[in-house]
Amino acid sequence: MPHTPLKPFIKHSKCLFLFLLSTTFALTLFAFQPTGYIDYPSVSEQLVETVQHSQRHAFDSLLKIVADAKFEVLKNQLYSDTRKKTFWLNVHNAYALYLLKKEPSILKNHNHFLSTKQITIAGMHFSLNEIEHGILRRSSYRITETVVIKQLRVLELDYRVHFGINFGAKDCPSLVPFREHKLNDQLKSLEKAYILSHTAIDSAKKEIKTSELFEWYETDFGGENGVRNLFEKNGLVQAKDWKISYEA
């Protein structure tokens, strides 16, 4: 009676053992995960990624997740300014890009585009202005402050959000998915890139020409001296003494 070769049997047994071991380990890990837990800052990253790659079905599914979120759950998850900035920058930018892809001409009516409450988060409707000014800037500029906005907004203004907000205009910073653990480095990088790409040096006039952004939100940057210090920090040593002019 022919007998079964031992080598293939041993090989098959090893594969089966490794499969069972990995499956057991995965099930063990799963057992320690909260049932039905959704990390909303992580979902917000995926919103940006899916809209960038025009993955409409996936994007719509993610929209439903944030729209159906329980307010108290969302608020509790956004327990730090880092998590708040990550979530709201991504939500703002993803929705802005989504709306522009859906209707490119919408940017022509700029004020309507920014002020219309067309973003659904946790069952409530927000405008791009409310997210930018009310939540990310802690400001009442162009919005009516509500109890909800006061509960969701950052505790301290970080001027660098200006280098992360994107609503489709040509002067806006680069669009990237913000990640909680990389947020500081991402904003630092975008700050430098924006300043260097939107600033010109006129040596003959001893003048620095830069974006109107720094004039519009001068108080966010710490006044004129704050703007000068910011430019110096990013390599424009002329900012200490030279005239600074702002242009569109």
Most confident range, picked from 25-34, 77-86, 93-102, 165-174: 77-86
Give the mean model confidence (pLDDT) for residues 93-110.
88
Per-residue confidence at 172, pLDDT binned at 50, 70, 90? confident
Cβ neighbors of 245 (< 8 A, separation 6 or more) are: 207, 208, 209, 210
What share of residues in the chain are helix, strand, coil (percent, to 5)? 60, 10, 35
Least confident range of 27-41, 136-150, 188-202, 229-243: 27-41
pLDDT value at position 2? Answer: 45
Mean pLDDT of the chain: 86
Among all chains, which residue has been given the structure tokens 């729209």?
67
pLDDT at 35: 52
pLDDT higher than 70, residue 217 = yes
pLDDT value at 26 more than 70:
no
DSSP 81: H
At 169 the pLDDT is 67
Question: Pairing state of beta strands 119-121 and 124-126?
Answer: antiparallel
- CB–CB of 138/157 below 8 Å? yes
What pLDDT shows up at residue 209? 96
Per-residue pLDDT of 46-57, as tens digits, reads 999 999 999 999
**pLDDT tops 90 at residue 168:** no
Half-sphere exposure of 197 (CA within 13 A, CB side): 12
Separation between Cα atoms, residue 91 and residue 166, nearest integer Å: 11
Query: What is the mean pLDDT of the segment spanning 30-55?
Result: 81
pLDDT given for residue 175 in this prediction: 85
Q: What percentage of residues in the chain have a pLDDT greater than 90?
A: 73
Find the mean pLDDT for residues 194-202: 93
pLDDT of residue 184 exceeding 80, the answer is yes
